[in-house]
Amino acid sequence: MEVSYKKLWKILIDKEMKKKDLQADAAISWASVTKLSKGENVSMEVLIKVCKALECDIGDIVELIPGENDSTEG
């Protein structure tokens, strides 16, 4: 599974916020913002801080995208 934060960036655009505003409002490190920008995994703590700052739910900022090698068998 891959993680997509496209929804997060759309919310920032809608709220006329820049990444540095998100970093300050959510009290997260710049390294975490960079990971989000690159579509890398971040901790649940970071996601919760972002959600609190933006007053939204995790599903509003993160989307899981199945990869080519992901099987549907559990």
9-43 pLDDT per residue, tens: 999 999 999 999 999 999 999 999 999 999 999 99
Provide the pLDDT for residue 43.
96
Which DSSP letter does residue 65 get?
Answer: E
43-67 pLDDT per residue, tens: 999 999 999 999 999 999 999 998 8
pLDDT band at 7 (very low <50, low <70, confident <90, very high): very high
- Domains of the chain plus CATH, in order, are 2-61 (1.10.260.40)
Given a contact cutoff of 8 angstroms between Cβ atoms, the answer to whether 14 and 25 are in contact is no
Q: The whole model's pTM is what?
A: 0.86
